[in-house]
């Protein structure tokens, strides 16, 4: 009977354990309880944070907005096609944010900053900014003392818009909201040609 040497067994075990790699990634997942009108209710994401990005099994992402005792409400950032009751959702651990930078000028992006204009990826230097953050106080804003000409006489004469301020264009479908915004942007061409460009950011919100 061969002698059993504990030191040899210990050395073999250490060698075996040193070559063992644990590439296990733990993910918290949940299931869809209900989906409709761009909103889904998800069960099982007990540790989800408000404003966190979650991802469905078909790649569509959503933002957690409503936290309840037994489920969370998420707003879809894409089409609801392929998402149904029982679909799997996983946490990303990231708060919803968007990349910003000079290369975004002239591009069309979705709420997550991903290009949707067919012109390829956006390069250049980018800065990641959270979607939900505290706006600067009024005291830190520059005074608005110059009008922004839209090119529409009825607006420029009766409802002057200040250059540098935000303006809400609200109305029913097919009433010309986008047309007014695009015409206003085009009307700033003369400032661009003079070397004094007006940077216009058009945000389309669904209703």
> Do 128 and 179 fall within a single domain?
no
Q: Burial, 99: exposed, middle or buried (Cβ in 10 Å; 0-12, 13-18, 19+)?
A: middle
Taking the C-alpha atoms of residue 184 and residue 169, their distance in angstroms, rounded to an integer, is: 12
pLDDT digits (tens, 9 = 90+) for 9-51: 788 778 777 766 666 667 888 999 999 888 999 999 988 999 9
| pLDDT recorded at residue 194 | 87
Residue 38 maps to a domain: yes
pLDDT digits (tens, 9 = 90+) for 109-164: 988 888 999 999 998 888 888 888 888 888 888 888 888 888 888 888 888 888 88
Residue 167 maps to a domain: yes
Tally of structural domains, the chain = 3
Range of the domain at 46: 29-95
CATH number of 80's domain: 2.40.30.20
Residue 172 maps to a domain: yes
Residue 11 maps to a domain: no
Confidence of residue 8 (pLDDT cuts 50, 70, 90): confident
> Do 161 and 192 fall within a single domain?
yes
Residue 125 maps to a domain: yes
Q: What is the pTM of this model?
A: 0.70
| pLDDT recorded at residue 204 | 85
> Do 87 and 125 fall within a single domain?
no
Mean pLDDT, the chain, as a whole number? 86
């Amino acid at each position: 009977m061969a002698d059993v040497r504990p030191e040899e067994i210990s050395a073999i075990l250490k060698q075996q354990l040193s070559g063992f790699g644990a590439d296990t990634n733990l993910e918290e997942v949940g299931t869809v309880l209900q989906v409709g009108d761009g909103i889904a209710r998800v069960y099982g994401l007990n540790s989800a944070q408000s404003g966190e990005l979650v991802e469905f099994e078909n790649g569509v992402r959503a933002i957690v907005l409503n936290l309840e005792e037994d489920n969370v409400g998420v707003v879809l950032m894409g089409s609801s096609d392929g998402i149904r009751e029982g679909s799997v959702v996983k946490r990303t651990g990231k708060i919803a944010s968007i990349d910003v930078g000079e290369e975004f000028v002239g591009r069309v992006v979705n709420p997550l900053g991903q290009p949707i204009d067919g012109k390829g990826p956006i390069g250049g230097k980018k800065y990641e900014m959270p979607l939900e953050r505290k706006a600067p106080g009024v005291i830190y804003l520059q005074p608005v003392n110059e009008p922004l000409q839209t090119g529409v006489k009825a607006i420029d004469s009766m409802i002057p818009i200040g250059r540098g301020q935000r303006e809400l264009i609200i109305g029913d479908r097919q009433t010309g909201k986008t047309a007014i915004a695009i015409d206003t942007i085009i009307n700033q061409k003369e400032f661009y040609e003079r070397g004094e460009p007006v940077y216009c950011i058009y945000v389309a919100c669904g209703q």
